[in-house]
Amino acid sequence: MIHVDFIRHEERVVAFEMDGHANFAEQGADLVCAGATSIAFGMVNAISERMGVEPVMEEDDGYLYYSVPENIEADDAVQILLEGMEHQLISLAYSYPDYIMINSKK
């Protein structure tokens, strides 16, 4: 199962962590894993391009940790992108509850 944790400070998303494998299908054909990965990396890339910053992240097989750079975490556009990502992942989890779980930590 994929676990996604959104870490907040004063209602703003300051980081997220995605860990695990969906195991919905065999590797290379797992649409849940592909969807979650695409959503996460698409958002990291969108923030980086929009704000002109390098992503602050750690990644490994089945693991991604992204920390919003402090100088942009208060930016409304960054927060809208991160909240959009959260809602996309919640929608994915709604459709595939046995394969992905979303948590928001405050």
| Catalytic one of 3, 9, 33, 87 | 33
Cα separation, 31 vs 14, in Å, equals 27
Is residue 32 within 8 Å of residue 96, measured between CB atoms?
yes
Options 3, 9, 21, 87, the catalytic residue: 21
- Spatial distance between the Cα atoms of 106 and 60, rounded to a whole number of angstroms: 25
Assess whether 9 carries a catalytic annotation.
no
33 catalytically annotated: yes
CA distance 45 to 54: 9
Tokens read off for 62: 């089945």
Q: Which residues are catalytic?
A: 21, 33
